[in-house]
């Protein structure tokens, strides 16, 4: 029971009072940590400074590279990735941020992936890079710019730091829900409910962040005189790579490539009007 009637009044159980206190502390900490992002104009709940983000990214980069077979030995392709990445930064609003951008090509030829660590460390696998072609042979620089622009968007929008704060909030709320719903006769029930709540919160934010990075990628490409339509072509590559048995969008942290294409077109129209 969550409470009981005593003397004509209602009294909360100690278990629920503790749960409410835990939830209140988690929410207060999350809401109290707010910063305005200079590039996006958004107010975000973030606990880290840019310097801390940079340090985290630099510390994590070697380990992440090893998970994908280490850095590529293809010197020409590596140089192209670094050239396009730095061109995007130098010609766009990303230049106004304090981050230390570096672009890495990973040796993994089978995994189709690109990702960004906090603070500016950005990676793309050979498996994805070699699919960014219009003729099956030559890497399309604008398609590559679309991928890297999207990842720069994650850094600029501080998505990793935002995700960390959300994760801390989810952990606090999970603990509170577990405490409130704990049933000695069914100890797994409360934990299941709590984890479901936490997962749904984090999935929602994941989709929003991906769409925002697509839009920022369009913005950075246009500022760098690159063809933003090629980001739509990248979505076609991802769609083909996923095949017909894609995970439904609602159950995925990434939006469906088809829906992303529509959002990218809207972003292109938006920045053309500005």
Summarised one tens digit per residue, pLDDT across range 206-228 is 788 999 999 999 999 999 999 99
What pTM, to 2 d.p., does this model score?
Answer: 0.77
Q: Can you give the length of the chain in residues? A: 274
Structure confidence by residue, pLDDT tens digits, 161-195: 888 776 666 665 565 555 555 555 554 544 544 44
- Check the CA dihedral 201-24-27-179 and report its sign: negative
Q: How far is CA 177 from CA 20, 192, 195, in A?
A: 9, 10, 9
DSSP state of 100: -
**Which parts of the chain fold into alpha helices (H)?**
14-32, 50-67, 75-91, 126-129, 141-156, 159-181, 187-223, 229-242, 257-273
Structure confidence by residue, pLDDT tens digits, 140-169: 999 999 999 999 999 999 998 888 776 666
Q: Using an 8 Å Cβ cutoff, are 145 and 122 in contact?
A: no
Longest distance between any two alpha carbons in the chain, whole Å:
81
Per-residue confidence band for 90, with pLDDT thresholds at 50, 70 and 90:
very high
Candidates 151, 156, 149; CA nearest to 226 is 149
Asked if residue 109 has pLDDT above 60, the reply is: yes
CA distance 263 to 258: 9
User: What share of the chain has pLDDT > 90, as a percent?
Assistant: 56
Per-residue confidence band for 54, with pLDDT thresholds at 50, 70 and 90:
very high
Per-residue confidence band for 19, with pLDDT thresholds at 50, 70 and 90:
low
Domain boundaries, the chain: 43-162+204-273
């Amino acid at each position: 029971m969550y409470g009981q009637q005593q003397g004509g009044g209602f009294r909360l159980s100690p278990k629920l009072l503790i749960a409410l206190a835990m939830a209140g502390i988690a929410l207060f900490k999350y809401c109290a940590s707010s910063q305005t992002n200079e590039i996006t104009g958004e107010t975000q709940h973030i606990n880290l400074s840019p310097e801390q983000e940079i340090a985290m990214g630099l510390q994590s980069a070697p380990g992440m590279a090893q998970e994908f077979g280490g850095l590529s030995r293809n010197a020409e392709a590596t140089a192209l990735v670094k050239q396009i990445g730095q061109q995007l930064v130098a010609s766009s609003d990303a230049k106004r941020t304090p981050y230390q951008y570096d672009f890495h090509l990973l040796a993994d030829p089978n995994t189709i992936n690109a990702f960004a660590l906090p603070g500016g460390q950005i990676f793309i696998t050979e498996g994805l890079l070699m699919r960014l072609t219009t003729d099956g042979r030559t890497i399309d620089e604008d398609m590559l710019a679309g991928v890297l622009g999207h990842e720069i968007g994650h850094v600029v929008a501080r998505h990793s730091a935002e995700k960390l704060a959300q994760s801390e909030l989810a952990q606090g709320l999970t603990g509170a829900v577990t405490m409130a719903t704990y049933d000695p006769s069914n100890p797994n029930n409360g934990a299941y409910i709590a984890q479901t709540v936490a997962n749904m919160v984090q999935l929602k934010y994941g989709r929003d962040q991906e769409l925002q990075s697509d839009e920022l990628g369009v913005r950075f490409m246009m500022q760098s005189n690159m063809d933003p339509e090629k980001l739509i072509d990248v979505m076609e590559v991802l769609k083909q790579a996923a095949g017909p048995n894609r995970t439904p969008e609602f159950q995925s942290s990434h939006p469906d490539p088809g829906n992303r294409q529509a959002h990218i077109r809207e972003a292109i129209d938006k920045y053309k009007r500005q």
